[in-house]
Amino acid sequence: MSGKNDGTSQSTRALLRLRELILSGEFAAGTRMSELPLVERLGVSRTPLRLALATLEHEGLLELLPGGGYAVRELSYSDVGDAIQLRGVLEGTAVRLAAERGASRRELSAMRALIERMEVEVHSEDYESFVRYMDLNERFHAALVAAAHSPVLARAVEGMVALPFAGASAFVLAEAAS
């Protein structure tokens, strides 16, 4: 394995570890995220680190600084709670619309297959299984929204991932931490 897989693995590792460090309070709100110390600390190269930083900015954990670079965003408990509740409302609406509009057998089979694969991965205790579980979970949530056949709802859910802790994998990480 080389090239793309190594980069993807490094990016995923950097993202997970950096998210964990931020959520654990290792970096206080307002802390500037300096690349070189993070490259050393996380054991990844600059490109995967930059991808992780951009992803965390998109999720709302980091903010882009005017002169470039990132800093840890200050979040309140109500921000987190609101983001989680709003994502739940939107996905609940997706389920309702999928049921009312008649999700196809193909869509339902695809979601069942994802659930079955997640069931296998969730009982494995290695890092690779956790990464596979997160990918399957993201795909399941996307399939659920797609089954609603609502471009308006899909755009609203897409916008939610920009809010702190509102992505499907954020829920998984919260569960893994407890």
Q: Is 129 helix (H, G, I), strand (E, B) or coil?
A: helix
Q: Is 83 helix (H, G, I), strand (E, B) or coil?
A: helix
Structure tokens belonging to residue 48: 């995967």
Task: Kindly tell me the burial class for residue 40, based on how many C-beta atoms sit within 10 Å of its own C-beta (0-12, 13-18, 19 or more).
Answer: exposed
- Answer yes or no: are the C-beta atoms of 110 and 129 closer than 8 Å: no
- Tell me the per-residue pLDDT of 50-103, one tens digit each, with 9 for 90 and over: 999 998 988 788 999 999 999 999 877 787 788 888 888 999 999 999 999 999
- Write down the pTM of the prediction: 0.60
Rounded CA-CA distance 163/83 in Å is 6
Rounded CA-CA distance 172/152 in Å is 25
